[in-house]
Amino acid sequence: MLEVGQPAPLFTADSTMGTIRLSDYIGKQPIVLIFYPMDDTPGCTAQLCAVRDSKALYARHDAVVFGVNQGGLESHKAFAAKHGYDFPIVSDADQSIRKAYGVGKMLGLFLQQRIVYVIGRDGNIAFARKGTPPTEDIVAAMKP
């Protein structure tokens, strides 16, 4: 797992909303990366619904949020449509993003861990926590 203060690894990947180039956002706005284990499971659905429902809190900081998971785009698109997610879900099919961010595996090395990162405007990790941290903690990491 990356630590606060480390530079955020850049990536380019397909998402439910087109190609995402992290370099397009670095230096312009805070970035929230939510690594979650699997589409359409109760815990993952609740975590991403909390993001959807907290859109105004993220908008106050002009933050962009990306879900990141090794699933394919078709699964991600169905998951996003079913729950009304208005933020991109990135397909990390080759698991290169997971590995670059030090996100481990769980459950017999099948599913990735649940980790939330906030990347500050300076391009460094401003927040890193396993599990499902409260939205307030995530947003607090974006304050200048």
How far apart are alpha carbons 144 and 140 in whole angstroms?
9
CATH number for position 43: 3.40.30.10
Model pLDDT for residues 22-31, shown as the tens digit of each residue = 999 999 999 9
Question: Which is the catalytic residue, given 44, 51, 126, 139?
Answer: 44
Residue 103 in domain: yes
* pLDDT (mean) for 104-111: 73
Q: Which of 108, 95, 105 is nearest to 68 (CA)?
A: 95
Residue 4 in domain: no
Residue 47 in domain: yes
Q: With b meaning 16 or more CB within 10 Å and e meaning fewer, what string describes 75-102? A: bbbebbeeeebebbbbbbeeeebbeebb
Residue 88 in domain: yes
Both tokens assigned to 26: 């670095």
Q: What's the domain count of the chain? A: 1
Q: Which of 47, 115, 125 is nearest to 87 (CA)?
A: 47
Residue 1 in domain: no
**Amino acid sitting at position 63:** A
Model pLDDT for residues 52-97, shown as the tens digit of each residue = 999 999 999 999 999 999 999 999 999 999 999 999 999 999 999 9
Model pLDDT for residues 12-52, shown as the tens digit of each residue = 999 999 999 999 999 999 999 999 999 988 889 899 999 99
Model pLDDT for residues 122-137, shown as the tens digit of each residue = 999 999 999 999 999 9
Note if 49 is an active site residue.
no
Provide φ and ψ at 6, rounded to 5°: -75, 150
Residue 58 in domain: yes
Q: Which residue range(s) make up the domain with 122?
A: 12-140
